[in-house]
Amino acid sequence: MHSGKLLEASDLTKVFTKGQGFVRSTIEAVSRVSLSLDLAKPEIFTLAGESGSGKSTVAKLILGFEAPTSGKIWYRGRPIANLKGTKEFMKDVQPVFQNPFETFNPLKKVQSYFFETERNFAGSAQGSYPLTEKSLELVGLNFSEIKDKYPSEMSGGQLQRASIARALITNPALLIADEPVSMIDASLRMSVVNLFKTLKEEQRVSIIYITHDLATAYYISDRIAIMLRGQFVEVGSVKKVLDNPLHPYTQLLKSSVPDPDPRSRWEEDIALSDLETREYTRRGCKFAGRCPQVQKICCEGEPDYHAVDDRLVKCHLYS
């Protein structure tokens, strides 16, 4: 039943507990999230949302770093619970992390990560590393640019591209990129973002792109899921969702993206969430506290997903 899918996740839930005994409290960091990626057609799937919306937790669940409280993930038709930690899975699914300066140990040369990965996964002999050079070329770097260098000797943009090159050594089918451009200067962001686009088109790599930057998401992705406090509130093709957002939260996100035009300034004030935990534990719709179109029903019952205009929206407005 899962054939034809590269990745399939259904009803993923992750509950974190805090404290013990009487002061114990729980937070559903990810709540009944489902997504799937096709095997035949590589695509870039974006998870977008504010910090604390559970985006990174979803990434950790898919990578097998955390076990879901309930729900299942299949990779090429096989459950991830059995696959994680196997060489085959690690070779196929590779992560790219947010801060390249934290990805690499400052006391180790950058090249050692490449050599290690190549030895472990491709079985190259000591001293010859053809794949390292090839993958560096893919990201527009030269081996001489990283040779004998420590992370502190490289710029953030270069290092992030090196981090992606390292992930490409094993020739993965799926990249999980957690905020890969948020630490890079706006002017250099496009080099990384364009790289993802070419990887998808030329190397047929599927990418789960996690970001809060809707402008780059619009630029590269095929589908997008907007996350709010652990839930997907709107899922669909990126053009549909961002050109004409239906969920009030997506509308707020879209209008908050600053466009570089001094003639249009934000005139109306918006309500900000005060404490994250208050929204996580809210009954009914998690956005009800900030929503400009809030109704009585929103505070009482959790909305269902409604299929409107080729997408899923979790909002009472469309029931």
Partner 1 sequence: MAILEVKDLQAYYITHKYGRSTSVKAVDGVSFQVEKDEIYGIAGESGCGKSTLLKAISGLAKPPLEILAGEVTYNFDGERLDILALNDEKQRRKLRGARISLIPQGSMSVLNPVRRIRKSFEDIIRAHLDVSAEEFEEMVRKHLDALGLDWTVMHTYPHQLSGGMRQRITIALSTILKPDIVFADEPTTALDVVVQRGVVQLIRKIKEEQRSTLVLVTHDLSIHAKLCDRLAVMYAGKIVEEGEAESIFSTPRHPYTRMLLNSLPKLGDSSARSSAPGAPPSLVNPPSGCRFHPRCPHSMELCRLEVPELLEVGSGHRVACFLERRGADAQRQAVGS
- Integer Cα distance of 139 and 148 in angstroms: 19
Q: For partner 1, which is the closer residue by CB, 71 or 156?
A: 156
- List residues binding partner 1 (CB under 8 A): 50-52, 155-158, 182, 185-191, 193-194, 212-216, 218-220, 242-243, 252-254, 256-263, 265-266, 269-270, 272-276
The minimum distance between CB 6 and partner 1, in angstroms, equals 24
User: In this complex, which beta carbon is closest to partner 1, that of residue 243 or of residue 304?
Assistant: 243
Q: How far is the CB of 96 from partner 1 (least distance, A)?
A: 17
Q: How far is the CB of 15 from partner 1 (least distance, A)?
A: 20
Nearer to partner 1 (CB atom), residue 9 or residue 241: 241
- As a three-state string, the secondary structure of the chain is CCCCEEEEEEEEEEEEEECCHHHCEEEEEEEEEEEEEECCCCCEEEEECCCCCCHHHHHHHHHCCCCCCEEEEEECCEEHHHHCCCHHHHHHEEEECCCHHHHCCCCCCHHHHHHHHHHHHHCCCCCCCHHHHHHHHHCCCCHHHHCCCCHHHCCHHHHHHHHHHHHHCCCCCEEEEECCCCCCCHHHHHHHHHHHHHHHHHHCCEEEEEECCHHHHHHHCCEEEEEECCEEEEEEEHHHHHHCCCCHHHHHHHHHCCCCCCCCCCCCCCCCCCCHHHHHCCCCCCCCCCCCCCCHHHHCCCCCEEEECCEEEECHHHC
Q: Which is nearer to partner 1, 127 or 260 (CB)?
A: 260
By beta-carbon proximity to partner 1, the closer residue of 15 and 183 is: 183
Which C-beta is closer to partner 1: that of 148 or that of 259?
259
Give, in order, the Cα–Cα distances in Å from 88 to each of 73, 110, 122: 16, 24, 11
Q: What's the min distance (Å) between Cβ of 273 and partner 1?
A: 8
For residue 140, the minimal CB distance to partner 1 (Å) is 10
Nearer to partner 1, 67 or 150 (CB): 150
To partner 1, the closest distance from the beta carbon of 264 in angstroms equals 8
Least CB distance to partner 1 at residue 260 (A): 5
